[in-house]
Structure 1
Amino acid sequence: MIKFGASLLSWILPEWKAAEGAYAIQKTAAAGFDILEILLPPSMDIDTATVRKQLQEHHIQAICSFNLPANCHIPFYPDQAYEAIKSALDKAAELESAILAGVLHSAIGVFSGSVKTAQENETLVQVLTLSAGYASRLGITMCLEPINRYESYICTCAADVLDLIEQVGSPALALHLDTFHMNIEEDNFRDPVIIAAGI
Structure 2
Amino acid sequence: MIKSCVTIALVPQIKSGPWIYWEDLEAGMEKASKLGFDAIELFTPAADAIEIPRLKALLANHKLELAAVGTGAGKVIHGLTLTDPDPAIRANAISFIKDMMDFGAVFGAPAIIGSMQGNVLPGNDREETMSWLAEALNQLGKHAESMGVILIYEPLNRYETNLLNTIEAGSKFLDTLETKSVKLLADLFHMNIEEGNLEESILNWGKYIGHVHFADSNRRPMGFGHTSMQEIASALKTIGYTGYASAEAFPYPDPDAAAEQTIEEFGKWFR
- Please give the TM-score of this superposition, normalised by the length of structure 2: 0.64
Corresponding residue for residue 110 of structure 2: 99
Q: Which residue of 2 aligns with 1:176?
A: 185
Give the Cα separation in 2 of the matches to 1:160 and 1:114: 23
The count of corresponding residues between Structure 1 and Structure 2 is 190
Bigger radius of gyration among the two = 2
Distance 1:93 1:165, change over 3 A: same
Partner of 2:259: none
Alignment partner of 1:83 is 2:95: yes
Q: Which ranges in structure 1 are unaligned for 5 or more consecutive residues? A: none
Letter in 1 for 2:114: V
Corresponding residue to 1:164 among 173, 195, 203: 173
Where does the alignment leave 5 or more consecutive residues of structure 2 unmatched?
Answer: 9-18, 209-271
Task: Give the distance between the partners of 2:124 and 2:35, measured in 1 at CA.
Answer: 43
**CA–CA separation in structure 2 for the residues paired with 1:115 and 1:187:** 29
Moved more, 61-70 or 120-129: 61-70
Deviations along 1:101-138, one digit per CA (max 9) or x if unpaired, are 2416614xx66136861111111111110000001011
CA distance, structure 1, for counterparts of residue 41 and residue 198 of structure 2: 22
2:5 is aligned with what amino acid? G
Which residue in 1 is equivalent to 2:234? none
1:127 aligns with 2:100: no
Which AA in structure 1 matches 2:49? D
Question: Does structure 1 residue 69 correspond to structure 2 residue 75?
Answer: yes
Q: Which has the higher contact order (CA 8 A, sep 6+)?
A: 2
Q: Relative to structure 2, which stretch is displaced further, 75-84 or 114-123?
A: 114-123
Task: Report what 1:55 is aligned to.
Answer: 59
Runs of 4+ in 1 over 6 A off after TM superposition: none
Q: Match for 2:27 among 23, 30, 44?
A: 23
Match of 1:198 in 2: 207
Contact conserved, 1:7 with 1:37, CA < 8 A, in 2? Answer: yes
Q: Distance in 1 between matches of 2:138 and 2:188?
A: 27
Give the TM-score normalised by structure 1: 0.86
Contact preservation (8 Å) 2:33, 2:63: yes
AA in 2 matched with 1:69: K
Quote the Cα distance in structure 2 between the aligned partners of 1:118 and 1:175.
21
**How far has the Cα of 1:48 moved from its partner?**
2.3
